[in-house]
Every structure is written in structure tokens, then in C-alpha cells.
A and B are shown apart, each in its own frame.
Chain A
């Protein structure tokens, strides 16, 4: 369906299902229970899941297919954000021009940077992209302050021109919206002990993410995608087969740059602020980590990786000692102290430690990322099944 094979159609429907029902799936625990701490179904985090999902999907088109490891992709997200905020400042709070500008500006920038950096491959390419991104970060945070707002970030102000929109609403800056539909409006549904938030901005991002995901599947299974995979496995042979690898890599680079710009545009559409640290090398590293953690070269992996990282950043970091003590309060005093002491380094301010440990475990034991983990679990079940029905041999999962 939609020009996809059966497997990819199933994958697409799975993704549609997941994002459509995310408000339920992300809030599995009753709001009053101790486990509610692990609920992630509030608008901001759900938006982040899908926005960074888009970022990682785009990155995967470059890295997963061609094997070119860009260490400066956050630069495109950053300029996308700046472009978006400037559209808000100049034109008005409709998100469509902002997002369009984000994609276009990021695309143009990636043409320039890609053209230069793709003259080299391997780690030399990585360092070139890193150098460009770091330069842009440094300049944005300092000498370009008039355009970028410097370290504070580019924020809206009441005196912005906004030629097509209201300057102020009740003395406040208007909020981003889609032809009057405010991105921040939320519909709360209460069901027993549970509560679920349905946020306009989230569903807007989710629809775009599904489209982005669909486009990525199409690219993966297109002749163009085949050429990109060929570049990854043997660029020499490709050149001696009469194919010019440069425009292919450049196209992949620009597409993934535009995905990053789209993510940047959506970020400001949800929260109209653009900061320079979005372009810092750690932000570029984060998308690399998301992609590899989820499973580079797989279609769903980067989305899972993005979700895992953002979950840790936003949920684990908010657990504090008080909460921990509450969890273990059912235990005898001595024992609860031991548990609290053991777990305390990993939560709250120690969430980086958890992050580091999780990376290492996944990379060591699941070279194919979370997707491989899923496949292993699946193969355990399907092996059981084949024992019952030996007729149909279990297919070994594709790597």
C-alpha cells in the first residue's frame, strides 16, 4: 500500500498507531501512583519525542544509508530554529511560514556545507562537518548576537514587527498557531485514576513525523536509496559502474539537512525560542547516539533511539531523593536506605551516569541497537512457535 511492500506498510501502520495513541501509551500509570513519575505523556515531552524522531530519521538517511557520519548535523537544526523564530518575529505567529523557512534555510546551508565536506570521506568528512558546526555555534553564541540572541537565545519580544499578525494579545506575545489553532492548546481526558493529554502541537508534529517517516521509507526502498546503500558498501565499485557518487551523497546530505531543519522549525513552532547550544557538538553527537542506539540503517531504530534519550533526559533527571525514599518507604528502614543509596547516583543529577551506562550496555550487547534487541526477543518467541509448527522455518531476522 502507498507504494510500500507488506513489511514496510506494517511498519508504517505501527508508527501511525504509536504516535496516534501516544497520549495513552506514554501515560500507563495512574496519576496518583508512585509510578506516575515514569509517565511521559505530557505535551512537551511527546512533542520532543516526535521532533527528535524526525531529526534522527533524517540523520539516518545520511548515516544509515551512505555511512557518512556527520558530526555537525545539529547546525542544521539550529539554523532551522533561528529561521523559524525570525519568521515569527517578522511575519507573524503562523507556523507554516516558520517551518517552511526552517526547511529552506537548512536545505540551502546543507548544500553549501555538504558540497565542501563531501569532498572527503571517512573521519575526515566527520571532522569537516564538526568544524563547520562548531564555527557556527561559536559565532552564533558571540559575535552574531544581534541575529541569534547569543547565549540567551533568540526570543520573541513585544516590539517585533509581525507584519501579518498581532503585535500583542492582552499585553502578551501571541503564541504560535496553525491558522488560529494554537499549538499549545490541550484537551485533557480523565479516566478513572488516569489522565491523558491531547495536545494540538503534538498531533501537528506527529502528522509531520508520520509523513517524514513515510518519505524515509520511500527513500529507503527507491533506486536512489539503493545507490546510497551501494555507496556505503563499496563506493569504488559504484564509480566504476558509471555512477557519480557525489550528487547522490550530496542529495542525501541535503535531504537529511532539511529533515534537521524541519525538526528545528517544529521545535520553535512548539516553543518559540532558538538557542545557540542547539548547534553545539554535543547536540550533533546526540543525534548520532540516537541513531546508533536505536539501530542505524533500520527505519524505526532512530525514532526509538530518540525516544529513549529524551525519556532519560526528561524523566530520569526529575527523580529526586525524596521520590526515591517514597518508593522504598514500604521496606524496613535499613533496607530502604540501602536501595536508596544504591539507586541515588543514577537518578536526578546522576541521569548522565544512567545515560552513559545505557549507551555502553546497548552498544556492547546489541550492536544493532534497540531494533536488534527487539528482533532478538521476537526470535525467541518465534523459535518457540517453530518448535510447535516445524513446517514453516523461522526466518532469521535481517541484520
Chain B
């Protein structure tokens, strides 16, 4: 029983990451009709916003410390962050400690800008091109973006720990009446889950309750008609792309303490997030979220030792197997609409 609850938690946790990325992908697909293979790269750039902020906060000047020696036996050059000189050691330490949450503020404008530039500079020329062309050009862009990141940050993962306040685990089991120390779950992963829930709810609320959202939803349903109404749907779609980029970027920012960011983390997520989107039904936002959680939970249960022993390798294939079964029984995915992307 404990194991089931734990795996369920783990599945929800994994599902929230899938759902967040798939949500952004679906937003872009639903509004613009563009299959964006660079979405994983946006996620990755979000994560590197954290790294960049970390680097900015720890911009240092060197002080020579004669008491210590470096690996060549020369006096050690100690890096002292400028910020330490300005606000003092303890304040500086806590600012650096909180760099991941702070990176949210940093990432929003950066991602919005990147999204808008991408849409205006590249994507908009591909609205009328075949999906295969869109896939290829965005895939090319993804490669370029990740190579740029690799050029500046290297190929190794770079640690970006969560603030000390969120280290350690929360004893979930006690809440549910289990023994202490049986069902514990890391604080930061719970934060990520809550964060994902807030972002998803926020996007839905935005689309549901604002006029902007209303127009966009109308545009998703029937672009031509909305255009005929004299509404400048293009501008709104640009904003939607920016929004999707922000969603992907924030997902990346908050993900950094979970896995140290590296330049190919976007590609690792890309295939799985496409599977999520398609299983959810192309163009369906609730479908993407639902499929994210369903596949996350399935993955989690398939990774249980008992399951693997019974069905070796099932943990490797469960998502794809589920995708095949769902697509064969529900032709347009879980919540997909008729006629979207079928030809």
C-alpha cells in the first residue's frame, strides 16, 4: 500500500513535468498550427536562465589567498562575488541560495522575448508550410540553440540546487495515517508539482476568462472567421507563442534542482512530450494535461521493482505501449478533436 501511494506521488510529480511541457506545445499547435520541435530547447533555455542568473549573482573578482595553495602549488586565487561586497556575506549567501526561485523573475522577460523573436523571425513564415517543414526547421533551430548553450556552458551538467529551506523531504505518510518515515517526498518536488498546477490553472484561467483568451480560443477553433471579424489575430498569436515559451521556460527553471541542467535536456524531453501531446489529442489543452499525468503515473508504476521483475523491460516501453493502445482505441487521442492533423 505504501509503495502504491509513493509511486502515485512519484507519477504525479513526473506527470506535472510532462504536462507543463505538453501544455506549451499544445498551445502553439492549437493556436498557430505549428509543430514546434524547438519546444524542448525552450525548456532547456529556461533551465539555463537559472544557470545564467547563478553566474551573474556569483560574478566575482579574485583575491589572492597566500595561506592556501592551488593544485599547482601557487597561492590560491579565491573568487569573491561582487554581490558579497555590496550586501555582505550572509545576505549574499542567501540571495545565491535562492537563485532558482529568483530565476523565475529573470526568465519571464527573457523567455517572452525569445518566444516573440522566434515567432516573428522564423515561425510565422512557416504557418502555411507543411508540418514536415515545420518539424525540420524547428528541429534545426533546436540543434542550433542547444549547440549555442553547449558552446557557452559546456556539455557537463551544472548543479543548481534548491534553496536550503526546500532541502530534505516531507513526511507525507503521516498525513495519510501511515507510519512516519515510510512515505516521504522531497519538498522541492512538491513545490514543482504545486507550481505546475498553478501554471496550468493560470493558463486555463487566462484562456477562459480574458477577452484575449476568448479571441485566441475562437482563433483556435476557426482562424479564418476570427480574421474576418477584423481582429488582428496575428498579434495575439505572437503573444501566445511568447506565452508558450514562458511556460516552457518556467518549467525548465523550476526543474533545475531536480536534475542538473545540461544542454541536451530539451531533446530528452522532446519525444516524450510529443507523445504526451498526441496521446492527449492534438490541439486539446485538457487532453495534454490529462495525458501528461496518465503517462507519468503509468511510467511510475511500471518502474516498480515488482513490475519489472514480472515484465522485464516494461519500464522502458510503457509510455510507448500506452500511446499505441490509446491511439488505436481512440483515434484522436484522449480528448482530441476531429480532423486535426490527420492529413
Contact = CB atoms under 8 A, between A and B. Distances in A.
Contacts of A235: 343
Contacts of A120: 327-328, 331
B332 A363 contact: no
A251 to B, nearest CB: 20
B144 interface: yes
A289 B133 CA distance: 10
A142 B274 contact: no
B246 interface: no
A296 interface: yes
Interface residue tally of chain B, by bracket?
A: 35 or more
Contacts of B275: 127, 130-131
Given A292-B132, A367-B133, A124 B324 contact: no
Contact of A360 (B129, B140, B148): B140
B208 to A, nearest CB: 26
Contacts of A363: 133, 136-137, 140
A130 B271 CA distance: 9
Contacts of A63: 132
A63 B342 CA distance: 15
Contacts of B316: 135, 138-139, 142-143
Nearest to A136: B317
B217 interface: no
What secondary structure prevails in chain B residues at the interface with A? helix
A360 to B, nearest CB: 4
A124 B281 CA distance: 9
B317 A288 contact: no
Interface residue tally of chain A, by bracket?
A: 35 or more
Nearest to A346: B147
Interface string A94-121: 0000000000000000000000100111
Contacts of B129: 367
Interface string B319-343: 0110110011001110000000111
A131 to B, nearest CB: 4
A285 interface: yes
Contact of B147 (A127, A293, A352): A352
A116 B278 contact: no
Given A120-B328, A356-B144, A363-B137, 10 more contacts: A127-B274, A130-B275, A131-B320, A131-B324, A134-B317, A134-B320, A281-B271, A292-B136, A356-B140, A359-B143
Cβ-closest 10 pairs across A and B: A356-B143, A359-B140, A138-B316, A143-B313, A131-B320, A353-B147, A356-B144, A122-B342, A360-B140, A135-B317
Interface of B: 35, 122, 125, 129, 131-133, 135-137, 139-144, 146-148, 151, 271, 274-275, 278-279, 282, 312-313, 316-317, 320-321, 323-324, 327-328, 331-333, 341-343
